[in-house]
Structure 1
Amino acid sequence: MAPLFSTPPQGSLRSRRHPIGVAAAVGAAVLGVLASTQGAMAAPAPAAPDLGPNVIVFSPDMPVAQIQSKVDAIYAQQVDSEMGTQRYALLFKPGTYGSATTPLDVKVGYYTEVDGLGQDPGAVTINGGVTAVGRNGSGSLDTFWRSVSNLTIHAVAAPGDECHTSSEMWAVSQAAPMRRVDVKDYTTFMPYCENPNYASGGFVADSNLEGGALNGSQQQFYVRNSEIGGQGWSNGVWNQVFSGTVGAPPQSFPSTDPGPYTTLATTPVSKEKPYLYVDAKGAYRVFVPSARTSSVGTTWAKGHTPGRSLPLSDFFVAHPSDSIAKINSALAQGKHLLVTPGVYDVAKSIAVKRADTVVLGLGLATLTATNGSVPMTVADVQGVDIAGLTFDAGPVNSPTLLQVGTGHDKGGKHAGTAANPTALQDVFFRIGGPHVGKATTSLVVDSDHVLLDDIWAWRADHGVAGSVGWTVNTAKNGVIVNGDDVTAIGLFVEHYQQYNVIWNGERGRTVFFQNELPYDAPDQAAWQHGGIKGWAAYKVADTVRTHEAWGLGSYIYTNVNPSLHATQSFEVPDRPGVVLHDLTTVSLNSAGTIDSVINGKGSAAEAEHSSIPHTVTTYSNGVAN
């Protein structure tokens, strides 16, 4: 997360609308799918699957007041539960919810996923809003671990809320994606009703923001394969990136007027996240979108998203009470895996060995390493999807939390193709926070042709008492990429004690990177190597010949020892085939200095002159512009 500081938004703010509503400690019995009320001769609706007590399924024939009461109760429980263990998925069957006179406002707290159950976003309409917002005192800097997807929102003001219901408000930071959402009205990603109104790190994909959007105080933000209409995109602070987005602002980096925008006409590789839906017969299925290259716009604007539909009978539906042996047995028999909300203690790796396996988590289901385990491994096979999961380190050091492929330097096929990549979508990692956590690294990618789509690897800078400290929640590296032809679209990696990212593979690409260096190094001697102060945030190995990246931001905030320096935030080999575009460094809150942007080039982000961005527009072969 970002510290409690942000540049004020540039330009005027408009009083628009924000949604509401979310919460309810409701039991499974209250929610299941209602039985068919059709005539006796009609075929009965398929039985609802057992998705556990924390998957709440709503149908449009339920009274709005009843739905509002349930979501409000869950929100009341989750609004301050940043390090808690409860997980929820709020699922809306096809239909319309709320009206112009009785809006439904779904407030979204921690560890809450809100999804429509239609095949396309137009199948579920909410008249009201789906709101994520910070808390007074911290803005939205810690508005993590929640999501909204696969529905349409008509912004309708709720009685008694003159601020949050003036537009669709999704004011979030890391690990809070908006996917497959059609917003018919104005959207704001800034919590302008709160004090302070900071935000840091949003992600939007495969969505249509028809009324335009206010970015406001968002320090960094990534929008891909979407459409922005209406009033367009307004405001910007440091690192704003767009790829394959119709209506995106034109390239303007590093200008701050209208904003420091990095705009790519297309997204190099994309593969949208799998999602649960209900078909025309009422049966639950999982849809797996196809991969795209050089893509523009949403997958659903001209009809159904291309891909394959899998019956839920092809899945093992896992609950926290299930043993890892039982889960692995199902995977070995060819089942896919649907992980219902909860926290799973994993003492032996969940092993994904078959090509095209789908592992889909609901409600930010969390896999916690125990006894130094690696919670999940993926074999060298192509076409695997790992989506919607959070990986937590445990108190005994793990070598990694997710291993994709086998050791790249040990031979093997490292299977993968551009047409059928393995993809990680909305996969998040934590070292510390809810408890003491230790892991040498969080994610290791050894397979080729892997897509990293919205990854947040976080060595915690705050948490419950005793869970955070330089010698407490230890982790050297966040992400290590050894495979070739790996693409990251939305890569957030923060606070690791050495290189945050190490890229060893060839032909790697990153579109949008966000980083904060570690807060808590006690002194320079503890945070340096080989005569270099600190460690770079993004390291491309000296042996790499081809690599390209766009829109990279790295910030320093050494609040334990504000005198610390990092020699540079980006470190790459000086070769013509290694090109980085639009880099930014900033010193925050007068705590810490980054001496140069990349390879000793670019001006220093000095503690004495904090909050000023220092930029390099293009770097290649030793030349910085």
Structure 2
Amino acid sequence: MTAAPSHAASPAAASARAAAALPTVWATVMSAASGRCLDAKAADTANGTVVQQYGCNDTTAQQWSFTATSDGYVRINSRNDASQVVDVADFSTADSAPVHLWAYGGGANQQWLPVDDGGGAYHFVNRNSGKCLDVPAASTADSVQLQQYTCNGSAAQRFQVVPVAPSSGDPDLGPNVVVFDPSMSPSAIQGKLNSIFRQQETNQFGSQRHAVLFKPGAYSADVNVGFYTQVLGLGLSPDAVTVNGAVHAEADWFQGNATQNFWRGAENLSVNPTGGADRWAVSQAASYRRMHLRGNLALDDGGWSSGGYLADSKVDGQVDSGSQQQWLTRNSQLGSWTGSNWNMVFVGSQGVPSTTFPRPPYSTVAQSPVTREKPFLYVDGNGAYQVFVPSVRTNSTATSWANGTPPGTSLSLDTFYIVKQGASAAQINAALAAGKNLLVTPGVYHLNQTLNVTRPDTVVLGLGLATFVPDNGITAMKVADVDGVKIAGLLFDAGTTNSPSLLEVGPNGSSASHSADPTSLHDVYVRVGGAGVGKATTGLVVNSDNVIGDHMWIWRADHGSGVGWTSNSSDTGLIVNGDNVTMYGLFVEHFQKYQTVWNGNGGRTYFYQNEMPYDPPNQAAWMNGSTQGYAAYKVADSVTSHQAYGLGSYCYFNVNPSVTAAHAIEAPNNAGVRFTGMVTVSLGGTGTISHVINNTGGPSNSTTNVANLTSYP
């Protein structure tokens, strides 16, 4: 186990370590601001040759070595002529002085102090001037000459140093993980990407699963992300991997309608989009996290789209929500935002709207009270695979990685049991009992016994939407009432025999405080039906205190295979019994009784999206005692403190449009239980929700489809 790089050591020690950590082989130097490479213009070797940024092209004009001089300083040599080094013109100490190549003569203007920003990124301080190597105005254009400028910690002065020689010794991650290296042929990379996408574009309920991993460096690629495909970079920073082209999700397969673009993800990449814009047209279970897009982002494809999740990301341009019905943006930095529909929520983010619900329907919260970002796989400077586990942040705003590697811990892959196709539940449990973490490679795993996570701080990280299916009516996974467990990137899919629950966090009666080290759930999805008949009384039960939910879709299927009122039966999506549980990006849909039941105190929800069950055959089949239907979000009468921001509940009773739900939200009427920004919608006027919360607000029906309520009480 190794800690993240420290920035608190003495300057001399830090400089020596930084110089020693630089590659000893030829390397490319890639700007974090632009994703472009340090380049000797026209591959020239003459004195005065402009040192510019240019699209990374794997030529020797973009390959550099670092030779120690003294006191931690290095000279940066060009591969085309190693006697030529990066030099500040005329020994200038002024801001904006240009940088070029010049024969090395030992001058202080030819020596640079590498300062480690973490994750293979550095800023370089000139020995003569004390100023930093800099991309003027953080430009993203080709042919911009580099300069020196007063050090300011910005991305314009941060450079990713990537060895040219491909690393070796990749672990065996099974047949469904593809690892790309920048030394590979672009055509070969594109061919593999196209092959995966062709298989997965329409494969909504198939069993194929894929993870596509990019090692640090630059790539020219069109990465079209289909079903059950996770695309991710293997750097400690998103800027360690630059894709020149696109990383996108489209809805061409469904005539531009993205309401079924589920189960996919893009993570930990930077993108220079062709034409300045990219598209992420998705609905549920399709996270866009830890991304840096140097352009604009569209969230639809011309037809309807039904909600997604953008977190820990930077979009330099504008995000256009288009037809998105609802969306959560958490801990991100945007150039700007345009668009609204029913429920747009922004938490702990910059560059987002400040106007308030309901015109337009924006709910904006300045800080995220408690978060932990999702653990992720990366390759360290020696080519070894590790898993980075970010630390908990409190009262946070914007990304965790803006200033380099965030606080956290790196775990060697040796501490993980790599779960591959054919692994049994007994083998997985044996690994857990031996103190191992789990790295679950892409696939569908049938379980004949519950997976028991009992060790504090265990990491269970799935790749490529890895899926657990309980075969005999068991709960697929149970987590003990211990500190700091992280469950991430998994789909829990109900089996044909009814399970009491699919995932249980803490046993019934859990009461220990985990405020210093909470358990967290990241991109955890629960499905009942759709891929076949599935049954579960409850999708997810949270009994432990202080749990963080970081994007979850809990879904009783409304389409696919095995779907029907009596076939994919399931009462409740989520039950929260623990205190001080915080949920970001909570999607719960189509369950047959309460969608969400919150029994614990101190709960907080930031964004809630719900559709009531489509398929009650008649009103008599869907009654809660004498009350018509069941609420989408139920806070128990015993609760004295609860906060929720940005809640949407929709009805579409297509089997029997005369069905009515009396309330979307039920909650005790006291000052400690507060709701902000609520909306109900009768989709196409098919069915009625009489009131938004308790007996307040509404109705949504065939006459008035949309009903808003700003706050309650």
Where on the TM-score scale, by shorter chain, does this alignment land: which range? Answer: 0.7 to 0.9
2:703 counterpart SS class: helix
Structure-2 separation of matches of 1:65 and 1:156: 17
Structure-2 separation of matches of 1:403 and 1:531: 31
C-alpha contact (below 8 Å) 2:372/2:393 kept by paired residues: yes
Find the counterpart in structure 2 of residue 221 from structure 1: 327
Of 165, 169, 191, which residue of structure 1 is paired with 2:301? 191
Structure-1 separation of matches of 2:636 and 2:262: 31
C-alpha contact (below 8 Å) 2:542/2:577 kept by paired residues: yes
Offset, 1:45: 5.0
Could you say what the CA RMSD is over the residues aligned between the two structures, in angstroms?
A: 1.4
Alignment of 1:220-239 (within 5 A): 220-229=326-335, 232-239=336-343
% identity of equivalent residues: 52
Structure-2 separation of matches of 1:529 and 1:179: 39
Find the counterpart in structure 2 of residue 143 from structure 1: 261
C-alpha contact (below 8 Å) 2:311/2:329 kept by paired residues: yes
Structure-1 separation of matches of 2:406 and 2:395: 16
Of 345, 351, 356, which residue of structure 2 is paired with 1:247? 351
Alignment of 1:70-469 (within 5 A): 70-98=192-220, 104-134=221-251, 135-137=253-255, 139-157=257-275, 167-192=277-302, 197-229=303-335, 232-255=336-359, 259-408=360-509, 412=510, 414-464=511-561, 467-469=562-564
2:290 counterpart SS class: strand
Offset, 1:369: 1.3
Is 1:491 matched up with 2:613? no
Structure-2 separation of matches of 1:285 and 1:527: 50
Offset, 1:417: 2.4
Structure-2 separation of matches of 1:416 and 1:177: 29
Is 1:66 matched up with 2:188? yes
2:684 counterpart SS class: coil
Give the residue type in structure 1 aligned to 2:235: G
Offset, 1:305: 1.7
C-alpha contact (below 8 Å) 1:58/1:93 kept by paired residues: yes
Instruction: Give the ranges of 4+ consecutive aligned residues of structure 1 lying more than 4 Å apart after TM superposition.
Output: 42-46
C-alpha contact (below 8 Å) 2:166/2:183 kept by paired residues: no
Is 1:535 matched up with 2:630? yes
Paired residues, number: 550
Offset, 1:416: 3.8
C-alpha contact (below 8 Å) 1:220/1:240 kept by paired residues: yes
C-alpha contact (below 8 Å) 1:383/1:416 kept by paired residues: no
Find the counterpart in structure 2 of residue 618 from structure 1: 711
Find the counterpart in structure 1 of residue 648 from structure 2: 553
Find the counterpart in structure 2 of residue 160 from structure 1: none
1:489 counterpart SS class: strand
Offset, 1:182: 0.3
1:309 counterpart SS class: strand
Structure-2 separation of matches of 1:293 and 1:43: 40
Find the counterpart in structure 2 of residue 525 from structure 1: 620
Structure-1 separation of matches of 2:512 and 2:258: 40
1:85 counterpart SS class: coil
Which one has a bigger Cα radius of gyration?
A: 2
Structure-1 separation of matches of 2:305 and 2:610: 14
1:313 counterpart SS class: helix
Structure-1 separation of matches of 2:339 and 2:679: 17
Structure-2 separation of matches of 1:180 and 1:490: 15
Offset, 1:578: 0.5
C-alpha contact (below 8 Å) 2:262/2:282 kept by paired residues: yes
Structure-2 separation of matches of 1:43 and 1:463: 47
Higher relative contact order (CA 8 A, sep 6+): 1
Residue 186 to residue 133, structure 1, CA distance change in 2 (3 Å):
same
C-alpha contact (below 8 Å) 2:281/2:298 kept by paired residues: yes
Offset, 1:320: 2.4
Find the counterpart in structure 1 of residue 127 from structure 2: none
Offset, 1:43: 12
Structure-1 separation of matches of 2:711 and 2:165: 63
Residue 602 to residue 44, structure 1, CA distance change in 2 (3 Å):
closer
Offset, 1:293: 1.3
Structure-1 separation of matches of 2:211 and 2:512: 34
Offset, 1:142: 0.2
1:536 counterpart SS class: coil
Structure-1 separation of matches of 2:184 and 2:169: 18
Offset, 1:415: 3.0
Structure-2 separation of matches of 1:359 and 1:260: 36
Residue 283 to residue 395, structure 1, CA distance change in 2 (3 Å):
same
C-alpha contact (below 8 Å) 1:478/1:500 kept by paired residues: yes
Offset, 1:136: 3.4
Structure-2 separation of matches of 1:138 and 1:522: 31
The TM-score normalised by the length of structure 2 is 0.76
C-alpha contact (below 8 Å) 1:514/1:553 kept by paired residues: yes
Give the residue type in structure 1 aligned to 2:449: K
2:198 counterpart SS class: helix
Structure-1 separation of matches of 2:256 and 2:636: 37
Give the residue type in structure 1 aligned to 2:292: D
Offset, 1:475: 0.3
Structure-2 separation of matches of 1:556 and 1:533: 13
Offset, 1:323: 1.3
Residue 537 to residue 138, structure 1, CA distance change in 2 (3 Å):
farther
Structure-2 separation of matches of 1:588 and 1:383: 40
Of 177, 184, 187, which residue of structure 2 is paired with 1:55? 177
Offset, 1:418: 2.4
2:475 counterpart SS class: coil
Structure-2 separation of matches of 1:43 and 1:69: 22
Considering fraction of residues, name the structure with more strand.
2
Residue 252 to residue 45, structure 1, CA distance change in 2 (3 Å):
closer
C-alpha contact (below 8 Å) 2:680/2:698 kept by paired residues: no
Offset, 1:324: 1.0
Structure-2 separation of matches of 1:267 and 1:345: 37
Gap runs ≥5 in structure 1: 1-37, 99-103, 158-165, 621-625
1:139 counterpart SS class: coil
Offset, 1:46: 5.4
1:595 counterpart SS class: strand
Q: What do the CA deviations read for 1:310-340 (whole angstroms, capped 9, x no partner)? A: 0000000001201111111111111100000
